[in-house]
Chains A and B, each alone.
Chain A
Amino acid sequence: MQNNRRKTVSLQMLLFEFRKTIGNPYVHIFGVGMPVLMMIIVTRAVMSQVADAAIRMEANTSVFLGIGALIPMATIFMGYGVSNAQEIEKGIPQRMELFGITPGMTICNRILSETIFMTMAFAVYFVAGYAVVGMKAPKALGALLYVVCILALSVILFCLSYAISSLLRKFSLTYCVTMLLYFVMMILGGMMGISFDNMPEPVQAVAKLLPVTYINRDFYTVWKGENYNFMPMLQAYLLMAALAGILMFFTLKHRERKLH
């Protein structure tokens, strides 16, 4: 009888999940290609309108930081969501569970593999950013806070994505819903041409609930190491985290095997 306890995170499982992550074409298109392309296009547009070099650099950096939030939104929220739904549709998670690979093990290894992929995507994004766009160098604390905020957003988006795909259980539906939410977050976050200040008040009220709004609108201040009131951003994070956590808890409970 094989009774050896399996580790929650193992090299084989991590590589397995990483291969699944990179095997998903969506993450390359929307998670790597699109943010780089958008960053180049938008900063070019800014450059053509702003004459002052210092203001141009400021604007470009702000755009760069905001569009960077698209990476976790695309690789994790959309990419993982559709891939998980596709697997659920085929009964793969249940098959893995019957082999003793618990949802907890899958989730932990997947989070790590998504983090590795996202780091690589950010590396490409930063290289492209510094090569193509004149960017202001950050203060150490500003850069650290950017990493923390992106990572926190990624974890929340992972939980949301897991819950949505587990509840909808179909690739087509999950694709539709995550894509819709992806664009809603982009629009409300001010990444599609309408800035927060130009939005109608009721829309602003909704936009304030999204962490991406603060990353896109305010992060340049944090990047420079200037004083910033984190409270509204923190509230948005907490609200989204609570929603994602509740949904994830509910889906995990729902999936639990009942053995007597």
Chain B
Amino acid sequence: MLLSIQNLTVRYGADTALGISSPIEIQEGDRVGVIGSNGAGKTTLIKSILGLVPYEGVIRTKLRPKQMAVHMQFNEYTDAMPVKYIMEAVLGTKISRNEKLRELIDFFEFGDCLRKKYTKLSGGQKQRFTIIMVMMQEAALTFYDEVTSGLDFETRQKLVEKLVEWYRGKRESLVVVSHYYEELDQLADKLLILDKGQVVDYGRKDELFRKYCGRAVIVVNHCEKNEKLLSKCKRLCAPAHLIAVSCESEEMEKEVTELLQKNDVNYKRSNNDIEILYTNAKTVKGGCFDAE
């Protein structure tokens, strides 16, 4: 076991920002996605693990601080020099003499940015700059806190693809905080769902999906016609513009899809839709239901 959390409470003044009562364990090689709306306690969780905020409870880990790397939501650096020198100072190496660093710089197509000052970098370049240094730490446990926030769709997708490619087949454990379900779909195999500072659930993505959504879900657009068509199906909670139905068996799925095809309705079938999973987990646990 890499890290365990028990009875964790983090308070900011009189407010409890995070309260975790059931134990949470992160094993070696785990890729944990942390999901929750704003103020759910995601960043607070990372900060408490890193010892950046005072907390009550127990966080046990065999890792030393330098074996944990983090890409915070906001990363700032001095603007007194080009980023090349910051990178060399932070990593204690010369770029020209470090093959692995050069490989990472090439991998993230950052070579042309090295002579620029930090404020002159674009949002995506800034993120890549920190990511390269975080990856160079080769930490046993790495945290990525909203690494793609504020980036346009294309840059975001490209960055996540790079992250997925880099970590494929590697043993490092990751904790990835994101509001983008498709990112967690690609990067995480476990999910920690937080809501208003409380844990809604924690477990393997596929197990949680089965628990809250069943074997598979069929998702269609929300309209009167589709409402009538699917009125007899087991409905799941879904964002207001969608209707989601749960299919507990293969037969049921076949029945629903045939019905939709017969009526010429577009649908999406999934057995790992994190958005639907998240919405239903929150509803089941009695959290605020803002989907409908």
Residues on A facing B (Cβ under 8 Å): 1-2, 6-7, 10, 12-13, 15-16, 19-20, 22-24, 87, 90-92, 94-96, 98-101, 257-260
Contacts and interface: CB of A to CB of B under 8 A. Distances in A.
B54 A258 contact: yes
B16 to A, nearest CB: 19
A6 B92 contact: yes
B138 A1 contact: yes
Contact of B86 (A16, A91, A98): A16
10 A-B pairs closest in CB distance: A23-B80, A16-B89, A259-B51, A257-B51, A90-B76, A19-B81, A2-B138, A100-B66, A12-B89, A258-B51
B231 interface: no
B75 A260 contact: no
A10 B75 CA distance: 23
17 contacts: A2-B139, A6-B92, A12-B89, A15-B85, A19-B81, A19-B85, A92-B78, A95-B77, A98-B50, A98-B72, A100-B66, A101-B89, A257-B52, A257-B65, A259-B50, A259-B65, A260-B60
Contact of B92 (A10, A92, A260): A10
B137 A2 contact: yes
B153 interface: no
Interface of B: 50-52, 54, 58-61, 65-67, 69-70, 72, 74-81, 85-86, 88-94, 133, 136-140
A258 B65 CA distance: 10
Contact of B80 (A6, A7, A24, A100): A24
A169 to B, nearest CB: 14
B93 A19 contact: no
Contacts of A90: 76
B174 to A, nearest CB: 15
A23 B85 CA distance: 13
Contacts of A19: 80-81, 85
A258 B58 CA distance: 12
Given A13-B89, A258-B51, A260-B60, A23 B140 contact: no
B193 to A, nearest CB: 25
B138 A20 contact: no
A16 B81 contact: yes
Given A10-B92, A98-B72, A257-B65, A20 B137 contact: no
Nearest to B68: A98
Tell which of B70, B78, B91 has the most Cβ of chain A within 10 Å.
Answer: B78
A1 B78 contact: no
B59 A260 contact: yes
Given A1-B67, A23-B80, A12 B140 contact: no
Given A1-B138, A19-B81, A23-B81, A99 B76 contact: no
A23 B52 CA distance: 29
Contacts of B93: 12
A157 B140 CA distance: 40
A95 B89 contact: no
Contacts of A6: 92
B118 to A, nearest CB: 10
A242 B165 CA distance: 55
Given A23-B81, A257-B50, A260-B59, 17 more contacts: A2-B137, A2-B139, A12-B94, A13-B89, A19-B85, A20-B80, A20-B81, A23-B80, A92-B76, A98-B69, A101-B90, A257-B51, A257-B52, A258-B51, A259-B50, A259-B65, A260-B51
A170 to B, nearest CB: 15
A7 B69 CA distance: 19
Nearest to A21: B80
